[in-house]
Amino acid sequence: MPADISSLTGGSLLVAWQLKDKHVLIVGGGDVASGRIESVLAADARITLICPSSGLHPLTKRFIEATDRITYCDRVFAAEDDLVGVDMALTAIDQVEESRRVCALCREHKIPVNVADIPESCDFYFGSQIRDGPLQVLISTNGQSPKLANIIRKRVEQALPNCAGDAISKVGELRTKLKERAPGVGGELGKRRMRWMIDICTSWEMEDLALMDSPMMDRLLDDGWEQNVTPNPDQFKALRGRRSGSASHATSASGVLLPILAFATGVICSGLWMSQRVR
Amino acid sequence: MPADISSLTGGSLLVAWQLKDKHVLIVGGGDVASGRIESVLAADARITLICPSSGLHPLTKRFIEATDRITYCDRVFAAEDDLVGVDMALTAIDQVEESRRVCALCREHKIPVNVADIPESCDFYFGSQIRDGPLQVLISTNGQSPKLANIIRKRVEQALPNCAGDAISKVGELRTKLKERAPGVGGELGKRRMRWMIDICTSWEMEDLALMDSPMMDRLLDDGWEQNVTPNPDQFKALRGRRSGSASHATSASGVLLPILAFATGVICSGLWMSQRVR
């Protein structure tokens, strides 16, 4: 809790909206709409896309051709009937008045809506986003500076370990295997399971987590979970066929290399200078 | 668009939900609820909090005392009447069946709902969050590994410039001043305004943006916007009373210092060695 509660203002509620098997209406098929389609498909929703074929961006066309999760309607948005069974609506068309009409209808039917480029017609914004497998990051400046959101997104992207998405997937798999081995909800067992997973996540580097494969996970459960210990990743390296470098290793290597080179240059320079003097 | 569209799965739709002047119902008053209260207040919503006073966490009590944006009801959740006029509901109570009942009622009334600890009763999740003034970041592993979400949040926090929140606020102010000076929506002027703001944001360091004050912004608009140029921040440093260090400056300083020291050590070492030989 901040000392000054009045400082709690000007923000949004950042949330990961669940769309699995939900029905999203997208009005418009241009460049912005194609980005929306990608985000919505990644969230496992079904899409109804309403847009005259003349207005389809090449990417949007490719999405329509590539998946049966999009129901395409070659026409403009008509009326309330288009909102039947819709859980969320996104519009990305140039007609301001038409956008406002869709928004008003959505609000009447309590359907969450985002209208591209008209902030007051949005129940939610998208901000700047990063996606790496199961890892998703949203950066919002609450409308103050989309450009800085973009700059910060790039910095955050650089700071994320290359293997973060893989590490998360593998930890997810390990957790599933652990739950199969020690099933049940809550209670003492649930707590022990959570503690053990936390120990693995904190004591192993993300690079090591990302390199787990199924036999390794099984051995980790045999030698770790069953014995109630947290094995060191080094004990498992022999099991691996491969070992890839990581950004953090590269950084620390250059951090060491530069002083060594500078030291050597110092030795050579003063050697040359001294040898001149001696002559 | 990814080459393999079937890889688009397993995600959520990350959004910045707008709650300004909306009405959020929070059921429960413990530790988790106090965190929800903070997030919701920061998004400028009104709160109705339902929880018997015996169940209030000290932080929740302090929130109730500190702001009139919370309407507190010293009782348990009763019935549908508690949902009248509610735009979003969050529950954080230990009673699983009661939580499920609230969730079912919310879904009946198309009110977005989050039930702590019961994923299938959630229309949205919160993930790991960072807040620095107008800057907000959400990190989600889509339920695969809350612990890794936490570890990644810390790395992201370290990667964010210390002054990012301030820089965003100041850029927001500058943009407001610019819009007052050159008003109107869209068109050529709108495009020029956007270009100029992007130029400032990309050519100035975040530290320099964060140090802008009102007179500086006015001069920046006089000397920059009016002349259609992007002034260098150095031209404005004389206007400032203060100059604070930044993490990135500190890093680059140590990045330079270490090779210099190593070079000097090299010179000294080989000097000593040569002087031994000469004797």
Which candidate from A15, A135, A141 shows the least CB-CB separation from B135?
A141
Chain A residue with minimal CA distance to B19? A12
- For chain A, give the percent of residues with pLDDT over 70: 90
Strands of B13-17's sheet, edge to edge?
Answer: A124-125, B13-17, A13-17, B124-125
The answer to whether the CB atoms of B138 and A16 lie below 8 A apart is yes
B150 and B198 both lie in a single domain: no
Q: Where are the beta strands (DSSP E) in B34-188?
A: 46-50, 70-73, 88-91, 113-115, 124-125, 128-132, 135-140
Mean pLDDT of B223-242: 79
Is pLDDT at B240 greater than 70 in this prediction?
no
**B1, B5, B14, B205: best mutation site toward chain A, by most A Cβ within 10 Å?**
B14
Tell me how far apart the alpha carbons of residues B148 and B144 are, in angstroms, rounded to a whole number: 9
Whether A243 has a pLDDT exceeding 90, the answer reads no
For the cut 90, the answer to whether the pLDDT of residue B241 exceeds it is no
Going by pLDDT thresholds of 50, 70 and 90, the confidence category of residue A237 is: low
How far is the CA of B41 from the CAs of A204, B67, B87, in angstroms?
Answer: 37, 9, 14
The amino acid at residue A47 is I
**Using one digit for the tens of pLDDT, what is the confidence trace for B7-54?**
899 999 999 999 999 999 999 999 999 999 999 999 999 999 999 999
- Diameter over CA atoms, chain B: 98
Considering the domain architecture, whether residues A107 and A118 belong to the same structural domain is answered as yes
Task: Please indicate, yes or no, if residue A271 is contained in any of the structural domains.
Answer: no
Residue range A61-77: mean pLDDT, rounded: 97
Would you call A197 an interface residue with chain B, using a CB distance cutoff of 8 Å?
Answer: yes
Q: Say whether both A97 and A61 belong to one domain.
A: yes
Tokens in use for B39? 């997030």
Q: What confidence tens digit (pLDDT) does each residue in B142-161 have?
A: 989 999 999 999 999 999 99
Contact B212, B170 (CB under 8 A): yes
Active-site residue list of B: 117
Model pLDDT, residue B198: 96
Contact across the interface for A16 and B137, Cβ inside 8 Å: no
Same domain, B140 and B186: no
| B197, B146: one domain | no
Q: B121 and B131 share a domain? A: no
For residues B88 and B168, membership in a common domain is answered with no
CB pairs under 8 A between A and B: 311
Give me the pLDDT at residue A245, please.
40
Q: Is residue A226 part of a domain?
A: yes
ipTM of this model? 0.81
Q: Which of B160, B175, B204 is the last residue of a domain?
A: B160
Q: Which residues of B touch A155 (CB under 8 A)?
A: 159-161
How many CB atoms lie under 10 A from the CB of residue A175? 21
The total domain count for chain A is 3
Whether A61 is in a domain gets the answer yes
Q: Is B69 a domain residue?
A: yes
Instruction: Establish if B29 belongs to a structural domain.
Output: yes
Question: Which of A110, A201, A274 lies nearest to residue B147, judging by beta carbons?
Answer: A201
**Minimal Cα–Cα distance from A106 to chain B, Å?**
12
What residue of B is the nearest CA neighbor of A31?
Answer: B1
| Rounded average pLDDT over A42-62 | 98
Residue A4: pLDDT band with limits 50, 70, 90? confident
Determine, yes or no, domain membership for B254: no
Domain shared by B45 and B116, yes or no: yes
| pLDDT over 90 (residue A169) | yes
The answer to whether residue B266 is domain-embedded is no
User: Going along B18-112, which residue ranges are E strands?
Assistant: 23-27, 46-50, 70-73, 88-91
Least confident of A55-69, A223-237, B234-248: B234-248
Q: Is the pLDDT of residue A256 over 70?
A: no
- The CATH number of residue B69's host domain is 3.40.50.720
B97 and B61: one domain?
yes
Q: Is A238 on the interface with B (CB under 8 A)?
A: no
> CA–CA separation, B20 vs B45, rounded Å?
5
The residue with tokens 């951090």 is A255
Claim to verify: residue A119 and residue A171 sit in the same structural domain: no
Q: How far is CA A107 from the centre of its chain?
A: 29
Is A249 a domain residue?
Answer: no
- Closest by Cβ to A12, choosing from B16, B142, B172: B16
Do B89 and B115 share a domain, yes or no?
yes
**Residue A52 shares a structural domain with residue A117:** yes
- What is the span of the domain harbouring residue A146? 127-160
Q: Is B125 on the interface with A (CB under 8 A)?
A: yes
Contact with chain B for residue A95, Cβ under 8 A: no
Please indicate if any CB of chain B lies within 8 Å of the CB of A147.
yes
Q: What is the pLDDT of residue A248?
A: 40
